[in-house]
Amino acid sequence: MKRSRWPLARILPHLLLVPVTMVTLYPVLYVIKLAFSGTAGVSASPWPWPETFSLDTFRAVIGRSDAAGHWLFGRQLANSLVVALATTILGITLACTAAYGFARFEFPGRRAGLLAFLATQMFPGILTMIPLYVLMQKLNLLDSMTGLVLVYATTAIPFCTWTLKGYFDTLPKEIEESATIDGASRFAIFWRIILPLSAPAIAVTALFSFMTAWNEFVLAYTFLSHEVAYTMPVQIRSYVGDKEVQWSLFAASSLLVSAPVMALFYALQKHLVGGLTAGGVKG
């Protein structure tokens, strides 16, 4: 009878991952502690669990209003949602057609256009902040959701175009040639064949575009000056003052902002993994 033994090679990686996981999760747990502790300052205890459990900080964040009686949390949450959704829709809509053109057609300036899109991704968006601010000021789009969407789209469209072009390149051209023989127009091929086959890649690209616009802070902080026009990241920054930091409000707001994206990502993770591994031809 063979003796049972623990395979060390299988156990050792798990033993190494336990402390790594604890170190990785500790900051998150500490933020949760600050949010639910109900205290204004940072706790001196390193234990990542609140000594007292309270929802006062969440009530303070959600119930904020300005002197005019505007519900700030609702307005700012709506601002973030509108900006993120509009940026995603605009970026995906324009990027799908641009990526398909770059992937399937040969035309003068094609390579230069691709390199130009790539060049915009090599530099941080903050480098364009001054010219964008001047343009926004000239067009009277400061403190405007429309202006912020246009600014975010300048970085979303190149990213979406490059991501979708890479996926369009993997789709066999024989599918389109067969549809052309059957009498389908180029638009019908794009609308009825290419887009449905690319739905997983479009979903992945749209999610990352949404997350980028949802979490962006620097440009929003520069272009928005009125509290009712703030997005949520800008409002979170307002809890950090020159002499005092309201850590509990900061932590509670961070959790509230992160929750929708985490829930969306968790709900779509299976589809996202499938989209990244799916091929253009099935069966």
Do residues 245 and 270 lie in contact, with contact meaning Cβ atoms separated by under 8 Å?
no
What is residue 65's three-state secondary structure?
strand
Interval 129-142: pLDDT, tens: 888 889 999 999 98
Domains, the chain, in order of start with CATH, read 62-277 (1.10.3720.10)
Q: Which is more confident, 100 or 42?
A: 100
What pTM value is reported for the model? 0.82
- What band does 280 get if pLDDT is binned at 50, 70 and 90? very low
What does the pLDDT read at residue 276?
A: 56
Lowest-confidence segment of 44-48, 100-104, 173-177, 261-265 by average pLDDT: 44-48
Do residues 149 and 216 lie in contact, with contact meaning Cβ atoms separated by under 8 Å?
no
Interval 220-249: pLDDT, tens: 999 988 888 899 999 998 888 777 778 888
- What band does 97 get if pLDDT is binned at 50, 70 and 90? very high
DSSP H helices in the chain: 8-37, 56-62, 72-104, 110-122, 129-138, 145-168, 173-181, 186-189, 195-197, 199-215, 218-223, 232-237, 247-277
Percent of the chain beyond pLDDT 90?
18
Q: Average pLDDT, whole number, for the chain?
A: 83
Lowest-confidence segment of 41-45, 119-123, 198-202 by average pLDDT: 41-45
Tokens (6 digits) for 3: 């003796």
Backbone angles phi, psi at 156, to 5 degrees: -70, -40
Interval 154-195: pLDDT, tens: 888 888 998 898 889 888 888 888 888 888 888 898 998 899
What does the pLDDT read at residue 271?
A: 62
Q: Average pLDDT of 248-258? A: 89
